Structures are given as C-alpha cells and as structure tokens.
Structure 1
C-alpha cells in the first residue's frame, strides 16, 4: 500500500523507536480488513522493534491498537489511517515506541495528572485537514495517562456507526459516549476543557508576570509578525491570543501567499507558531481579552484583562484581534463551513474552478467577489436580499456584462443544503411572492461583510470607525499613545494574510520606536 519512497521515509522515522511495541489488529473477511492487514504487515517489516498480531477482539473491524508489551496504551485506529491521518499514525508509532513528543514538560505533567477515566472517540475522514490535530492530541493524552483511551474512527469505513450517531461533520469527538466537541481543537484547548483547574492556574501565573515592553493581543498573521519583529529588537515581548492562528487556522487552501505557491491554513499556522517560538516570545494561548485599561500617562503601563481573570501589563500594546466573517445564520451554514461554505473568494475561489457557486451579498464586496469568481468558476449566482444591489454602478455594470452570472434580487437565503459532506445547493425565498426556490450548486460564498473583534474595546478611548474597526496612523498607532493595532481589526482596506503580516511588522516597529523615544 505504501510506495517505495514513503516506505523509506517511514523506515527512517522508525529508527527513532527505542521500545518494542505490538500492532494488535482486529479484522474480518472484508476488503478493508485486507487492506489494513497489508498496511500493518508493511509497517511491521520496517523495524525489528515492531511485531504484528491479528488476534484482536475489538468489535470495530477493521481496527488496530498500538500496545507496548503487557501494556494497553489506549491508542486505537478504527480504519486505515492514510491521507491526512498518516502523520497521526507515524506520530503514534514513534510515541508509543518511546520517542518524546514535541510538547513541553509542563504539558506532559498536566496530562499525567488528570485523574478521571476518559474514553474519547474521534470520527475523522481521510480528506479532513483539521482532524489530525485532534487525533494526535488525544493519542498523546492516551499514551501518557493510563486512565485515558482514544479511538480514532474513519467515518467512511464505519459508516453505520456514523449514521446511527447522525454525525455530519468531522472531526467529531465523543467522551465517555457523550458528545464532547467538534471542529479543529489543539491539545491546549482539549486540556482546558477536561482539566477544570487549568484556567485558574494559568491566570495566576499570568498575574505574576512582570510588565512587558510590548504585548500583542491576538495570534493571527498580524500578531505573529508583530511578535517576531518586536523580539528581534531585543525588547521583552508577550503574545496573548484566544487561539493562535486565528481565522487562518480555518482556511482550507492558500494560494496567494507570496513565495509559497500552495499551502493550507493549519500548515501555515504551525509554521507561524514555530517561527515565533524561535524567538524569546512569551506565548499565552486560550486567552480572550475582555477589557483594556490604558496607561494614566504617556510613560505608564497599559493593562489588559482576560476572560480567565488574568491581567497583563505592558509599556506598549499591539491590538491584532482580527475580524470574523459576518454570518447569515441560516441552517447549513455552520455545518458546511469549509465544505462548500466559504468567506474569502481571493483565498478559496480557485478551489471551485469550473463549478457552480453562489455569492450572497450585493454590496461592493459581494459584487467584486462575483466578478472575480466568474473568471474562475463555471457559473455564479449572486443573491441579494434587497430589491436592488448596493454596489457601485461601475461594478454592477461589469457584473451584468458577464455571461456566466445570474442575479437574484429580493431573495432571502433560508438554508444551505448538502449531502452530509459538502454543499449541494441553496434554498431562498422570493420576497416579492413568498415562493421558495432551490438552486443546485457546489459552493456558497458569504459576502455580507466582516465583523472586527473589537467588542472588548467598547468604552475605551481607542478611536474606532463607524464599523467598529480601529483607526491607526501610518505607524500603526491608535488614538492612544503607546497602543498600536494591525491587521483585519483595523481600517486597512484589504483583509489579506500577507497584508496583515506587513501591518503587524509595521506596528511592532512603531511600538519599538515609541519605546526608545519615551
């Protein structure tokens, strides 16, 4: 099943194994079991520290456990972990075989100290880019805590189980037989949910930290770039984020990041985090800012309060909390996010080449998106709630001249439909006749604007636009001396990854300049 090149790579990885372990397979007479048996035979033949047994009695067939001699590690794959999950398999083999994981000693101790019996089940698909993070995190927890067990289940192989539990999206995690969470999750996020005292302990640690020279609030492209540029100046730098990576972590395909012809959001986030960690940056993840208290004077300290109750102080701040796509809030939108529902035509448009898509929104952003997409996809249907489009006249004229575009006015989107794995259509109501119609298509681009993540700044002296975006000068400074902002949370007109990074660097340099001048 593995080509020669992949076998050689895997063999090289398995040379890092220091402890013997067994692949214990549970098989039946089906074709998938035969495929799994072939894969496991190939793997066991690559290292003398691996043995294979087909005497497994797991009710899920095909499946296999990865156990040390005389020890059930609690790591089970129900299916054939290839595709995106092949990395999860390799990491599980290495970690059960004694190779240390790339996590801090503190995190490992937190895992080991969990004192409850937990059996996790994760449903994944081989094409899911977000599933490996969850599978790898839960496998690691099982390997390092004997009271934790994790079964990673390929929904395509165990379809009856998926149907019985009515699972429509992956990754989908159950804990002790009950729904736990779904969607992309990091190890930190999972631990925060199961370790009830973790947030309080982290808040106490943050409260004891000395004031920073500069503190980034937000860990997306702008915050990450700002942290790197600040740290390179030799000043004490902190980064506090609700989720490192921000919106980028949910982006499927990225093909406009200069010098990288094609990548995926999670891969770019991993690369950003590794780059930030190359420098002396204090990263505090899972921290949602709720209040800003500016310094009382120009040489004083700004204070940020977080949802956890923690507070941090800094001479300068770079606010990079980003923005989120405004949602239409209809059935099917959240279920098919990144499965046909998209929000960025620049990023995801090329993925729909030759297909029929809809654009919801008749303002400038919606019409511009429809024009751009018309040159890529097979057909575009623009849907506008009002009786007329609100875009500039020149944009409307251009749109109406395109042969592969339909325009529906006075159309209220009521549902986005799909087949369980991807979008297959959209239902709308004609507001003039109240008649309901359905359009068959393969993608829906929601273009009704962005919502800046600035709710936590209401009541602060930081000046914002009518749309809630932070107003900055040419150095990225806000209306409050020493407080800078960058990226999608600001009035910068084009919300793009590469632009956010540039703005983050600019704000960090502005903050450094402010420090040395004050």
Structure 2
C-alpha cells in the first residue's frame, strides 16, 4: 500500500511514540476495505508499539479507530485517509501514542477544560486542501478530552450518506447531529465557537495591549511580508488576521512564485506564518477589523470581537474573496450545489453534471479538473470568447465530456428547495433564455477586495480597491495598504509580497519623520 520512501519516513515518525497505539478496524468485503487493511498492516509493521485488531463494531465500514490502553480516546477514520489527509493520519497516530502536539499550552488547557459531550463528524475529500486543518484540530481535541468524539469521513466512500445529508461541500462538520460549520476552520476558531467565554477573555486581553508602532491588518502574503520587514526594523509590530494565510489557503497549486517551482497554498501559508514567528511579532488570529479612526497621535482599529487595538501606523492587507454572480438562487444554494472550490468539492459530484462559470485561467482549469470526475461539465462565459491561456483552452476543447458556452449571461440558479437542479443563462447574441439541468455549479469569476468596512474612511475605487501611491500610502495619514485589496495591478502572490515590503518600509519612514526634530523635518 505504502511505497518504500513513505514507509521509511513513517517508521522514523513512529519512533516518537511513547505509549502503545491500538488500531481497531471495522472492515467489510469491499475493495476499499482491502486497501484500508493493507494500509493498517503496513503501519503496524513499522513499529512494535502499533497493533491492529479487526474487532471493531462501527456502523460505518470500512473504518478504523485509534486508541491507547488506559486512555479514553474516541478518534475514527471512516474510509481511506490518503491524499491530503495522510498527514492527518500520521499526526493522529503520534498524538494517540503520546507525542505532544505543537500547540500552545494555553490552548491545550482550554481543550482539556471543555465540559460536555461533543460528537463531531467531518466530511472530507482526499483532494481538499482545506480539510486537514479541520480534521487535525478535531482529532487533537478527541485525544486530549474524552468528552470529544470525532469521526473523519471520506465523502466519496459514503456517497449514500453524503446524499442523505445533502453534503455538497467539504469540509462539512456536524456536531451532535447538526451542521456546525463548513469550510476551513482552525483549532482556535472551533474552540471559540464551542467555548463562548473564551472570546470575551480574548477581547479583554487584546484591548489591554500597548500601542503598536506598526499594526498589520490581514495575514496573507502582503501582510506577512509587511510584518517581517517592520519587525526587522526593531519596532513593535502586530498582525491582526481573520485567518493567517488569507486567500492563499484556498489555492491548490502555485507554480509562479519565483525560486519555488511548485507548492500548495496551505503549505505556503504555513511557511509565511513560520517566517513571521521568527521575529518578535504579536500575531492575533481570528480577528476581523470593522473600523479605523484617528485619536490624537494614534490610530484605533475596532475589531468585531469588541476589542480596540492602537497603533501609530496601520498597514491594510485585507486581501480579497471569491466574487459571486449575484443572481437569484446563488445565496440560497451556496454549499447545496453552488461552490467556489473545485479541488475541494469536486469529488462530491462524481458522476454528476456540473457547470463552471468563468472563462479565465481559473475557470478553464477547474473545468479540466472536474471533467475527470463528473459525467459532464459545461463552462459558461459572459464574453464572446474564453480569456484563459491558449494551452488550457486546447486541453478543455479536447475533452469529450466538456461543453463551452460563450456570450452567456448567467441569470438564475435553479433548485428544488434543498439542492441545485439547474442553471439559467441568457444567450447574449440571440436573447434566448436557456436552462441547463445539472447538480453542481462552480463559480470562478475572480475576486472582490475585502474593503467594505473602509468605505468613507480611505479613498476607494468604484470596485472597492484601496487607492495607494507608489509607497503604499492611502488617503488617511499613517495608514498604508498592500496586496489584492489595493489598486496595485496584477493580483499575484509575488506582487503582494513586494507591496507588503514596500508598505512596511514606507511606514517605518513615516515613523522616523514623525519623531524627527523640527529642523530635520524642514530639511
């Protein structure tokens, strides 16, 4: 099941186990079960601390649970945790076997102190880069607190269950039988949702912080670069981010970041955070800004948590989000057939009919990927021709189960009240209204800047982009901006990083001039 290289690496990891791990399998007579048992046998053969039993009584089969003698652990994988989830399996083995997690002790204590019974079920796909964060967070909680139970379910292996629960995007998380959340969620975010008192304590702690010399709002490539460059100047630097990594977390493949031939979004996001943590930067995660105002010599940034942070300069790097079509039915059927991540959610539409809206590189790449999974994919483009690179267009046109419709204006998402059943578009050439019956719609029409909260505060373009000069300065004194939320052309990771560095250097220059003697300022 595992190749020699992976076995060698896994054997080294398993040497870190400090207590026995018992894998309790619940197999059946399917080929997938045979694959699961081969995987478990491979793992058990790499460490004398790991053993496999086939006495499991789980209703979901094939599945297996991880436990350790004398420990009250309820952690189960239903299906085969390969692809992006193989790392989740390795971490679960280590943590079940007593290896300490790389989590702050304060978070560990918070998990252990949780009171109540929490039964989590997470539906994932092996191609989903957002799912491991959720699976790993809930697995750790199950290891640390006996009141937490977690089952990670490969949706493609339990199609009837996925259809019965109408799971149409991953990760989808259930808590005690009810939908708890959808999409990427980290450990701290999950804890904040189930431990409500923690949010109040965190807000009070943030409000008590001293003023920063540079406060970065946003933790994507631009924000990370700004934080590094500011911290290297030896000034008090903070980063308040709704989620560190930003839009990069939703990017599958990155091949144009100079000096890095290939990486994936979540890996880059982790590398960004690791780099920032090399310096004395105060990272404040799960914090969304809602307002900014000047109060004397300081800027005050109000957060949705209720706290207010103070700073002498602020760098706005709030990034962008997926643009929506805005047509009737889109909101109603979001995560019920309407989705924005083909890599994550594509496997849930295996053998079904889907559409991709958008004829740029992202849209055409999505259609190509989906064609290998679904029965038929229809690409719908507003313009009279596709805008993607010619090599991608040729590939898409060569696929037998792909159709391209241009000069088409999407007008409505149709559904039966619980899931998508079709898409309606207007032929811009003839004026005819047409409907395409299908089960899934993947929207790939670009990005919108996350600047709604800045209207009337700094100058914005009609599209909502923050207007900046060559130094990243905005219309508000002491406030700079960088990345996809600004007027900077070409929304690319490498461009955002450069802009983040520029804004930090500009903020530092502003601070120097603000504190310089009068004669020096005049010069």
TM-score relative to the length of structure 2:
0.85
8 Å CA contact retained: 1:215, 1:240? yes
Cα distance per residue 1:241-287 (max 9 Å; x no partner): 11211111112222222222222222211111111111111111111
Instruction: Give the structure 1 partner of residue 318 of structure 2.
Output: 321
- How far residue 81 of structure 1 moved from its aligned partner, in angstroms, is 1.4
8 Å CA contact retained: 1:359, 1:446? no
8 Å CA contact retained: 2:381, 2:405? no
- How far residue 86 of structure 1 moved from its aligned partner, in angstroms, is 0.9
**Aligned partner of residue 179 in structure 1, secondary structure:** strand
Question: Which of 410, 413, 436 is 1:412 aligned to?
Answer: 410
Cα distance per residue 1:308-345 (max 9 Å; x no partner): 11011011110111222331035466533111757794
- How far residue 463 of structure 1 moved from its aligned partner, in angstroms, is 2.3
In 1, Cα distance between equivalents of 2:413 and 2:390: 23
8 Å CA contact retained: 2:357, 2:379? no
In 2, Cα distance between equivalents of 1:357 and 1:375: 19
**More deviation in 327-336 or 82-91?**
327-336
8 Å CA contact retained: 2:340, 2:444? no
**More deviation in 304-313 or 155-164?**
155-164
1:488 and 2:484 aligned: yes
In 1, Cα distance between equivalents of 2:103 and 2:359: 33
Judged with a 3 Å threshold, the aligned counterparts in structure 2 of structure 1 residues 441 and 310 are, in CA distance, closer, same or farther, namely closer
Instruction: Give the structure 2 partner of residue 277 of structure 1.
Output: 277
1:516 and 2:512 aligned: yes
Judged with a 3 Å threshold, the aligned counterparts in structure 2 of structure 1 residues 214 and 273 are, in CA distance, closer, same or farther, namely same
8 Å CA contact retained: 1:361, 1:446? no
8 Å CA contact retained: 1:253, 1:347? no
Judged with a 3 Å threshold, the aligned counterparts in structure 2 of structure 1 residues 180 and 60 are, in CA distance, closer, same or farther, namely same
Matches within 5 A, 1:313-462: 313-329=310-326, 330-331=329-330, 335-339=338-342, 341=356, 345=360, 358=379, 360-362=381-383, 370-378=386-394, 407-408=406-407, 411-415=409-413, 427-430=424-427, 434-438=432-436, 446-447=444-445, 450-460=447-457, 462=458
Judged with a 3 Å threshold, the aligned counterparts in structure 2 of structure 1 residues 102 and 344 are, in CA distance, closer, same or farther, namely farther
Instruction: Give the structure 2 partner of residue 144 of structure 1.
Output: 144
Instruction: Give the structure 2 partner of residue 505 of structure 1.
Output: 501
Cα distance per residue 1:16-52 (max 9 Å; x no partner): 1111121111223333322222221221111111122
Judged with a 3 Å threshold, the aligned counterparts in structure 2 of structure 1 residues 412 and 9 are, in CA distance, closer, same or farther, namely closer
Structure 2 stretches lacking a partner, 5+ long? 347-355, 372-376, 398-402, 515-523
8 Å CA contact retained: 1:352, 1:443? no
Judged with a 3 Å threshold, the aligned counterparts in structure 2 of structure 1 residues 156 and 326 are, in CA distance, closer, same or farther, namely closer
**Aligned partner of residue 378 in structure 1, secondary structure:** helix
Instruction: Give the structure 2 partner of residue 246 of structure 1.
Output: 246
Structure 1 stretches lacking a partner, 5+ long? 382-403
- How far residue 91 of structure 1 moved from its aligned partner, in angstroms, is 0.2
Instruction: Give the structure 1 partner of residue 33 of structure 2.
Output: 33
Alignment RMSD (CA, Å)? 3.0
Judged with a 3 Å threshold, the aligned counterparts in structure 2 of structure 1 residues 204 and 471 are, in CA distance, closer, same or farther, namely same
- How far residue 143 of structure 1 moved from its aligned partner, in angstroms, is 0.5
In 2, Cα distance between equivalents of 1:472 and 1:234: 25
In 2, Cα distance between equivalents of 1:442 and 1:190: 28
Cα distance per residue 1:428-464 (max 9 Å; x no partner): 13476553143999996643x643222212332x222
TM-score relative to the length of structure 1:
0.86
Kindly tell me the number of residue pairs found equivalent between the two proteins.
482
In 2, Cα distance between equivalents of 1:134 and 1:326: 24
Instruction: Give the structure 1 partner of residue 351 of structure 2.
Output: none
